[in-house]
Structure 1
Amino acid sequence: MSSLYKHIPSVNDALDALTRDSYFSELPRPLLKGLVNEFLDVCREEIRAGLIAEPDALALEALLPRMSAHVRAKSRPHFRRVLNATGVVVHTNMGRSLLADSAIRAVAEACGHYSNCEFDLSTGERGSRYSHVEELLCRITGAEAALVVNNNAAAVFIMLETLARGREVIVSRGQLVEIGGSFRIPDVMTKSGAILREVGATNRTHVYDYEGAINEETAALMRVHTSNFRVVGFTREVSLPEMRALGDRYGLPVIEDLGSGTLYSLENAGLHGEPTVQQVVEQGADVVSFSGDKVLGGPQAGIIVGRREYIERIKRNPINRAMRIDKMTLAALEATLRLYLDMDLARERIPTLRMITMSEAALKSRARRLADTLRKVLGDRVAVALKRGFSRVGGGAFPEYDLPGTLVSVTTEEISIPELRQRLLDTDPPLVARIEDDAFLLDPRTLDSREFGMVAAALRQALDMQ
């Protein structure tokens, strides 16, 4: 056994052999060297275990295929592309919304070149980064002013910290929500320095509940859109027009946290109960916050729109600098917002809107094409069938609504479906879908048609794994 160790290739010889492949030659040398050493340690373990017993098995030519596979697998970026066949359009765990092509180009331009991020081209002096999107936001929403921070949690925090620090904010008990990542409205309010004054019951809150809580310490009235759940049955919430009238009566600003928020009405897609930002502004909210990377379909951002006097105060808050967005977010958001100047264009070119509003006929056609691709690539290794099913908007929006469509069901006798699902997490790229009724279900709603071949290749990789 000890004589076998001397037949293990040297690290330098292994590196020279690997770097003849352009993929490996472009990797950082220290990373490549560490992975080669790791592989050679595996060889030593195999010698000790008696798995390698002949010198010929340690020849560089014999080891090179395994070594290449080991290094390739271990050198993949930790953050990488995933094929989303789950049918959840705004999938928080997979990066939420996909950007429109024009937004992707804008990000690449911002990354690869110097820009006028904070440079006023009309004066040659320092400018404001918010100027690139403020006018667009005001034009689309009807608000007087706008500000963008790094996410909606930050938007809610800075609104409260600016307008209500040390004073009370009245919120309906039924709107004290918790969303993903343990983000709770009461906790954010406490951190902002505002004092929560909850009113009403879990299921019913009236105007008189708010009015009875107003005192000299009241700074604002707040509404929180319950994006990720609904209370149904014997319920009552104070409408925004009612809240606006109460705010006017007592000289108090009305704050609205829309959570996901949308600039495009999805009523025609059968999705009800989600007001657009435009409607909320028109109905009198003084300050409105919402996300950029959920139903809006842009980059991660927290967008604040409303009356100029309040937005300007928020802009001047020193905390704003800690929450400001970078040039890539600015570029992507501007490109996305420009599409909303034509709502039909937005629905066509913003992937999130396109997927949500896709017709059942179009989904059935896509499912057939996906199924045909799988049969062509995998043959009789899998059984493929179409079945009726449902997708979800995701991102905390429209929790009570399913999006009907056609799914592709995949079964195989080679391995169990749970094992198939696990193996697909290690393919390149990984494929994520869902299991129902002992079948692996692929939803074409959240797959680009250009990814159908990649889906088939991923399934083949998974079936070939040992």
Structure 2
Amino acid sequence: MSVNNHTYLLRQIPAVDEVFKDPAIADLTSSTPRPLVLKAIRDSISQLRKELAAGRLLIQQEQQARDFLMSIIVKNSVYRAHSQKRSNLRRVLNATGVVLHTNLGRSVLGESARQAIINAASGYSNLELDLATGKRGSRYAPVEQLLTQLTGAEAALVVNNNAAAVLLALSTLARGQEVIVSRGQLVEIGGSFRIPEVMAQSGARLVEVGATNKTYVTDYQKAITSQTALLLQVHTSNYRIIGFTRETSTAELVGLGRITQLPVMCDLGSGSLVDLSGRGLPAEPTVQQVVKDGADVVTFSGDKLLGGPQAGIIVGKKEYLDRMKKNPLTRAVRIDKFTVSALEATLREYIDPQTLWQHIPTLDMLTADNNLLRQKAQTLSEELNATAGAEAFFTPVQTPSAVGGGALPTADLPSWAVEVAPRNMTVDELAGILRESEPAVIGRLQDEKLLLDMRAILPGEESALVQVLSGVLKEGAPS
């Protein structure tokens, strides 16, 4: 007969000191700070009181009540303590199929970049010391020479992200003056930050020209006044307007800039140092091509198609870059030693175009062979059926994946995934438990199924995926 006397059950809840004597808790305190364990116990007891008061927990035998309640408290306390001890920024297995997933940190750094960060963190470095002269140096020196070598630009500067790069350039070159830009290029960068808002923050005045779908060089020319300081071209890297369209090319805009003696700035957004079209991806303007076309200033991201750390990269004519380096805003948006080290290592990979695609994980994942993805999905499905086939159905399926990160919006990336249909829980429940697992697993929910896309699963992560998913399906979530 079920015990439903709430007053009696509440009296059976063991005291905190008594819980501390349990062997599992005693073992926990050997590796976990006592204050953290204490909080976990108190939180577990508080949660149990709420469950009992709401009548959501019944005990079958009165004489078993105390032991049963103790077991619940101990189990939940151990779970809570381990959860509180875990880092808030945790490892995630990206089974979404989105390579440059902004919420998951975008680009995965290559081995050389990861090792460079470890080296920078393990001791002192010559971040702002010129070893040849023994005098103060520039933190940008390790990457500036590489950037000018790779892009053909005269000078380079790196800040903490591309929005900051655009802000710094506009503030330096056009503060208090007009900047002309095509109406079809007033993009939203992400997180509700838009080009007009960045421009307003820089102190420059926006002048829109042309129509949403068509803008000619004559539209820029007619808008030029004595207050015009800059001609701006913004590459629509995160969307496309197709159909009856026409945009002014970089070369056309540069030609107008030369005639009117106005600098031309090109914001490439994602940015790329290699021709992606030869690998089956949509063609993107490379930084080298835009520099060759004569753009005076070019800005782009370090953590998108470049495959490096988060950074905003500025290359172009020395006279304009020197002015930006002297702008006080530069110090506010400067990069730290970890970004310098990771970016330098990433850029060095671009020196050898033959090995580049294997050493930059982003490029490797974007150009992954579809047959290889199918084989991975098939193998994973077989392993999961062998370990957790009683708890769920696992089926390899074809699925589209995406570049992400506001890059290559028209790219068609066919992929393969493992479709998971759990028997004893909903897919929403399964997805929620997987998000709390160690490591966390993030997939896609589609048609009451959980899809585990193979495109962004890194080499060696398949075994961890099998272990986590099998464990979750067999054990479920802590009560």
TM norm. shorter chain > 0.5: yes
Aligned-partner Cα distance in 2 for 1:6–1:173: 67
Q: Structure 1 residues 47, 206: closer, same or farther in 2, change over 3 A?
A: closer
Secondary structure in 1 aligned to 2:15? coil
Match of 1:181 among 191, 212, 218: 191
What's the counterpart of residue 87 of structure 1? 97
Q: CA deviation at 1:337?
A: 0.8
Q: How does 1:227-376 map to 2 (within 5 A)?
A: 227-376=237-386
The count of corresponding residues between Structure 1 and Structure 2 is 463
Counterpart residue type for residue 435 of structure 2: L
Q: How does 1:36-47 map to 2 (within 5 A)?
A: 36-45=41-50
Equivalent pair of 1:373/1:453 in contact (CA under 8 Å): no
Aligned-partner Cα distance in 2 for 1:249–1:199: 19
Q: CA deviation at 1:338?
A: 0.8
Equivalent pair of 1:407/1:443 in contact (CA under 8 Å): yes
Q: Structure 1 residues 152, 450: closer, same or farther in 2, change over 3 A?
A: same
Q: Which structure 1 residue ranges, 5 or more long, are not aligned?
A: none
Secondary structure in 2 aligned to 1:179? strand
Identity %: 49
Q: CA deviation at 1:363?
A: 1.6
What's the counterpart of residue 76 of structure 1? 86
What's the counterpart of residue 66 of structure 2? 55
Q: Structure 1 residues 12, 324: closer, same or farther in 2, change over 3 A?
A: farther
Counterpart residue type for residue 329 of structure 1: T
Match of 1:137 among 124, 127, 147: 147
Aligned-partner Cα distance in 2 for 1:57–1:159: 66
Equivalent pair of 1:5/1:44 in contact (CA under 8 Å): no
Counterpart residue type for residue 287 of structure 1: V
Q: CA deviation at 1:57?
A: 3.8
Quick check: 48-57 or 122-131, which moved more?
48-57
Equivalent pair of 2:419/2:451 in contact (CA under 8 Å): yes
Q: CA deviation at 1:221?
A: 0.5
Aligned-partner Cα distance in 2 for 1:298–1:328: 11
Match of 1:385 among 385, 392, 395: 395
Q: CA deviation at 1:389?
A: 2.0
Aligned-partner Cα distance in 2 for 1:25–1:329: 38
What's the counterpart of residue 15 of structure 2? 8
Q: CA RMSD in A?
A: 2.3
Secondary structure in 1 aligned to 2:215? coil
Match of 1:31 among 36, 39, 46: 36
Equivalent pair of 1:285/1:306 in contact (CA under 8 Å): yes
Q: What CA deviation, in whole Å up to 9, does each residue of 1:43-83 have, x standing for no partner?
A: 55567667576333466x88544421232134322221111
Aligned-partner Cα distance in 2 for 1:257–1:465: 48
Q: What CA deviation, in whole Å up to 9, does each residue of 1:122-175 have, x standing for no partner?
A: 122221100111111111111111000000000000000000001111100000
Q: TM-score, normalised by structure 1?
A: 0.93
Q: Structure 1 residues 336, 28: closer, same or farther in 2, change over 3 A?
A: farther
Aligned-partner Cα distance in 2 for 1:390–1:241: 36
Q: TM-score, normalised by structure 2?
A: 0.91
Secondary structure in 1 aligned to 2:389? helix
Aligned-partner Cα distance in 2 for 1:230–1:3: 63
**Residue 404 (structure 1) aligned with residue 414 (structure 2):** yes
What's the counterpart of residue 20 of structure 1? 27
Secondary structure in 2 aligned to 1:271? coil
Match of 1:429 among 436, 439, 443: 439
Aligned-partner Cα distance in 1 for 2:290–2:10: 78
Equivalent pair of 1:8/1:58 in contact (CA under 8 Å): no
Aligned-partner Cα distance in 2 for 1:2–1:235: 73
Q: Structure 1 residues 15, 331: closer, same or farther in 2, change over 3 A?
A: farther
Equivalent pair of 1:96/1:293 in contact (CA under 8 Å): yes
Counterpart residue type for residue 20 of structure 1: D
